[in-house]
Structure 1
Amino acid sequence: MPNPRIILVETAGARNLGSVARVMKNFGLSELWLVNPQCDRLSDEAIHMAVHAREILENAKIVESLPEALMGCQRAIATAGRIDKGDMKVTNPPQGLSWLSQVATSAIVFGAEDRGLSNAEIQHCQQVLQIPVNPDYPSLNLAQAVGVCCYQWQLLRDDPKSHENLTSQIAQDLLKSAPIDLAPREDIEACYQQLEAVLLKIGYVYPHTAAHRLRKFRNIFDRANLSPSEVAMLRGILRQVNWATDQ
């Protein structure tokens, strides 16, 4: 069961960053991605808090945007406290991480300490994970939230069958032939951008409604578990529609 990436978006606190590295090493995770970090991952504060996990900070991959950090991932789950659920599937750590474990490449995404993840950032993921906490004080420290998810992942590794009662029969059947052959997120995102351009061109959506409508299409296609060949077919159809409208 390959470990997921831990992706941190615009982390501001060096101490938080070091603490995340430490808890990742505690539970055997090593792949850390930083999206536009607002602090120095190799500062004295970060290194001090990482203790014996300095190599995780040193090897962390730095990118400018969340889509870059998700390149190559087949599934991604966003973490959030209070959110407007809308049409996005909201899950808990056991169910959400069991869902991630069905594929070869995955990611858990955490937002900035002061604001969490924006709606636009969440849209790059297929599910939202919420950690059950006291509703009177639901805000978790970044490293604490990462630690909860890493711990839950460790439980899955120790007992892969423990999640069978959390997934549907279809999902269990898919697990038997895991990893599932899913298209990577960058291909899915390219398909969404192409779809939006075509829908705008034919007048099905307008600039002020496009984002809302596209969220519904995202939900449909994300539930479909599209393979690389299926995404290629859909993009071929969109190219043909685009060509036909020019004729």
Structure 2
Amino acid sequence: MLSYLSCLFSTTSISLSRLEKVLDEALAQVRIILVEPAGALNVGSVARILKNMGLQQLVLVNPQCDPRGSEAQKMAVHAVDILETAILVETLPEALSGCQRAIATTARQRSLETPLEHPRHALGWLLETPSALIFGPEDRGLSNEELNYAQRFVRIPSSSAYPALNLAQAVAVCCYELSQLASRSQTVPPAISSEVSPPSEASLDRLEGFYEHFETLLLNIGYLYPHTAASRMEKFRRLFNRAHLSQTEVDMLRGILSQMEWALNSAEQSGAVDDTLIACNHPVADTLCNSPNSSVVEQPATRRESESPSSETSI
């Protein structure tokens, strides 16, 4: 009997050890990003929360305080190591380098076309691949420009009488949900695997490169104007982010952009600039180029296709 119990406890111990290892690996993929944190006490509290919930990566974007000073250490207590290993960067794109997924937090609906989700419903998505959870400054939250770097958005439900949470409180709620979701995912039997594995999602670095390339081309052809480019690109970002593009798909799209740039440069050098480009540089181009029935857009496209029968193959 004693030998049976000893074997049972030993097996249970091994199983728990393996489970903890799997949980640690899942949570280790998620980095917590604080954008321009202003309070050292908050940064220290966040470090402690990360250690409480099994997370390890803390990234600070342009901190407005001393993230390793006495105040931060006072709140971190036994999580000073999280502060010491925290990565400090100047910009949000730097903080997201190497990630494939990103979720941003916001306290209000704003004018986002992408819906705001409950943390419990969305955060599990971060556990499958190198990812980031982004929090904004204490005084203003994330700007629309900063939100553009995320693919999904979460809002923590709270009382309408006082909906705003302290930064450390918001991080605590989300990290708790992450920890619970990671634990739950290990107790659910895995789905029957398909013979064809899904394509790897493009990294956020590569997506950002595509967006910059795309915006540059749209500005060059006159579809975008400098004073409206930011708002237009927000819509394009939402569109492509919903598609969760793979690396191969991003490469394909950038290949198309490069081919278009080459064709435009060739046309300019030969003096045969397409009528579409002339129209799109006209003051009313915004209307013409966005009208699905506009002959200014459709007719040159038809001519170009007939003149370049091999264009599809070259792409």
User: Is TM > 0.5 for Structure 1 vs Structure 2?
Assistant: yes
Give the Å deviation of 1:150.
0.7
Aligned to 2:151: 126
Aligned to 1:63: 89
* Equivalent position SS for 2:116: strand
Q: Pick the aligned partner of 1:217 from 236, 242, 257.
A: 236
Q: Pick the aligned partner of 1:117 from 139, 142, 146.
A: 142
Q: How many residues align?
A: 239
Aligned to 1:5: 31
Query: Residues 219 and 225 of structure 2 are in contact (CA less than 8 Å); yes or no, is this contact kept in structure 1?
Result: yes
Aligned to 1:169: none
Matched, 1:76 2:102: yes
Q: Pick the aligned partner of 1:108 from 130, 133, 138.
A: 133
Matched, 1:43 2:43: no
Give the Å deviation of 1:63.
0.4
Give the letter for the 1:19 counterpart.
S
Aligned to 1:241: 260
Q: Pick the aligned partner of 2:46 from 13, 20, 33.
A: 20
Aligned to 2:271: none
Aligned to 2:123: 97
Q: Pick the aligned partner of 1:191 from 204, 210, 229.
A: 210
Whole-angstrom distance in 1 between the partners of 2:224 and 2:86: 40
Query: Residues 31 and 60 of structure 1 are in contact (CA less than 8 Å); yes or no, is this contact kept in structure 2?
Result: yes
Give the letter for the 2:64 counterpart.
Q
Give the Å deviation of 1:78.
0.6
**Structure with greater Cα Rg:** 2
Whole-angstrom distance in 1 between the partners of 2:251 and 2:198: 20
Give the Å deviation of 1:181.
1.2
Q: Is the alpha carbon distance of 1:143 and 1:217 closer, same or farther for their aligned partners in structure 2, counting shifts above 3 Å?
A: same
Matched, 1:200 2:200: no
Q: Is the alpha carbon distance of 1:66 and 1:175 closer, same or farther for their aligned partners in structure 2, counting shifts above 3 Å?
A: farther
Give the Å deviation of 1:195.
0.3
Give the letter for the 1:205 counterpart.
L
Whole-angstrom distance in 1 between the partners of 2:85 and 2:94: 16
Determine which structure has greater relative contact order: mean sequence separation of CA pairs < 8 Å that are 6+ residues apart, divided by chain length. Answer: 1
Whole-angstrom distance in 1 between the partners of 2:159 and 2:188: 25
Matched, 1:228 2:254: no
* Equivalent position SS for 2:78: coil
Give the Å deviation of 1:187.
0.5
Query: Residues 7 and 107 of structure 1 are in contact (CA less than 8 Å); yes or no, is this contact kept in structure 2?
Result: yes
Query: Residues 124 and 182 of structure 2 are in contact (CA less than 8 Å); yes or no, is this contact kept in structure 1?
Result: no
Q: Pick the aligned partner of 2:183 from 155, 158, 172.
A: 158
Give the Å deviation of 1:89.
2.9
Query: Residues 104 and 180 of structure 1 are in contact (CA less than 8 Å); yes or no, is this contact kept in structure 2?
Result: no
Q: Pick the aligned partner of 1:138 from 163, 167, 192.
A: 163
Give the letter for the 1:135 counterpart.
S
Whole-angstrom distance in 1 between the partners of 2:194 and 2:49: 28
Give the Å deviation of 1:99.
2.3
Whole-angstrom distance in 1 between the partners of 2:122 and 2:221: 37
Query: Residues 174 and 180 of structure 1 are in contact (CA less than 8 Å); yes or no, is this contact kept in structure 2?
Result: no
Query: Residues 70 and 107 of structure 1 are in contact (CA less than 8 Å); yes or no, is this contact kept in structure 2?
Result: yes
Give the Å deviation of 1:139.
0.9
Whole-angstrom distance in 1 between the partners of 2:31 and 2:198: 16
| Cα RMSD, aligned residues only | 2.3
Give the Å deviation of 1:46.
0.4
* TM-score of the aligned structures, taking structure 1 as reference length: 0.90
Q: Is the alpha carbon distance of 1:64 and 1:206 closer, same or farther for their aligned partners in structure 2, counting shifts above 3 Å?
A: same
1:81-138 CA-to-partner distances (Å, cap 9, x unmatched) read 124132123111011202223x311100001111111110000111111000001101
Give the Å deviation of 1:42.
1.3
Query: Residues 126 and 222 of structure 1 are in contact (CA less than 8 Å); yes or no, is this contact kept in structure 2?
Result: yes
Q: Is the alpha carbon distance of 1:230 and 1:17 closer, same or farther for their aligned partners in structure 2, counting shifts above 3 Å?
A: same
* Equivalent position SS for 1:85: coil
Matched, 1:29 2:55: yes
Unpaired segments ≥5 residues, structure 2: 1-25, 267-315
